[in-house]
Amino acid sequence: MQRVNALQRFIFSAVVVRISTIATTLFGISVFVFIVLRVIPGNTITGAFGIETGVLTPQQIAELRHYYGIDQSLLSQYFSWMGSFLTGHLGFSFSTGVSVLKLTESALPVTIELALIGTILGVIMGIAVGMFSASKPGSFRDFGGQLFGLLALAIPGFVLSTAIVTIMANIFHYFPNGLEYMTPWRDPWVNFQQMMFPGLVLGIAVAAPVMRTTRSALLETVDKDFVRTARGKGVIPRKVQMRHVLRNSLIPIVTMTGIQFGYLLGGAVIVEKIFALPGMGRQVLDAINKREYATVQSSVMIFAIMFVTINVLTDLVYRMIDPRIK
């Protein structure tokens, strides 16, 4: 009975600590993005009127500051935005005349789909190249695998994206992203063509760290006693590699996959812009140019919440992979 109570107290304290950590992280991100936006030169008025701001009278500027809500103190602006955000009111986009919540409802599925495609392609390529490289460490195939990882890390995504768009449009006269964006349930084939190349660009970026993690994990596991025992019993080498080596190396691979998927949700800004995808990254970039504080702040917070959620789900996956993890 005492052991059960001790276990319950431990679980309760662990949950409290985890929730406190998440809340503190999100609070820090909200303060950071709020301050950074105010440090950037310009405001919503200059973003909306551009060079025409210079011809506005002081009275007009004062009225516009009141209309945009930037005449209040920074503390009042922060708590006003945070209170609205916590109640589900993400703000209003003055340039489009649409609420940020409605903009997010249409943009978020695009980013999630793109991130999923990039992660799936990256994990497949990364694990395959990592296993190929680790099968004979120090050999030519190992050199080729590490060269792939190095090139994938070295080539920026915007360079690869621009090259793909240029080659497709100028040489093959093929650029499906120039058409209106199609959702997968509206036109699956057009959506596949529009998502294939940007997903490949992101997949290559994900494949590099996954490949390096896979190679290191496999080389560390391959010398374990249970692997040598399996080989001594005459188990087929392919089964040893898949059932024993790879399966017991999944924890670091899953960790890296979760991190990379979280990064793709907020880091696909340039790729979405180049391939003309109406995702969250493009939404944030346009809002920054127009100094729409509510759109940027709420979008970044959504990214942060999703990233934290992915980390929690990754921890749950650990338990499924290795039952010894409590």
CA distance 22 to 304: 10
Query: What pLDDT, on the 0 to 100 scale, is given for residue 121?
Result: 92
pTM: 0.81
SS (H, E, C) the chain: CHHHHHHHHHHHHHHHHHHHHHHHHHHHHHHHHHHHHHHCCCCHHHHHHHHHHHHCCHHHHHHHHHHHCCCCCHHHHHHHHHHHHHCCCCCEECCCCEEHHHHHHHHHHHHHHHHHHHHHHHHHHHHHHHHHHHCCCCCHHHHHHHHHHHHHHHCCHHHHHHHHHHHHHHHCCCCHHHCCCCCCCCCHHHHHHHHHHHHHHHHHHHHHHHHHHHHHHHHHHCCCHHHHHHHHCCCCHHHHHHHHHHHHHHHHHHHHHHHHHHHHHHHCHHHHHHCCCCCHHHHHHHHHHCCCHHHHHHHHHHHHHHHHHHHHHHHHHHHHHCCCCC
What is the radius of gyration, based on Cα positions, of the chain?
A: 24
Query: What pLDDT, on the 0 to 100 scale, is given for residue 178?
Result: 76
Q: Report in angstroms the alpha-carbon separations of 38 from 35, 288, 293.
A: 5, 11, 9
pLDDT digits (tens, 9 = 90+) for 105-115: 888 888 888 88
Query: What pLDDT, on the 0 to 100 scale, is given for residue 325?
Result: 58
Query: What pLDDT, on the 0 to 100 scale, is given for residue 99?
Result: 80
Compute mean pLDDT per 10 residues along the chain, 326 residues long, and list them: 58 72 86 84 71 72 77 82 82 76 86 90 89 82 85 84 86 80 84 89 89 84 71 69 71 83 78 85 81 83 86 75 60
pLDDT digits (tens, 9 = 90+) for 13-43: 667 777 888 888 888 888 888 888 887 777 7
Query: What pLDDT, on the 0 to 100 scale, is given for residue 9?
Result: 66
Domains and CATH numbers, the chain: 2-98 (no CATH), 99-321 (1.10.3720.10)
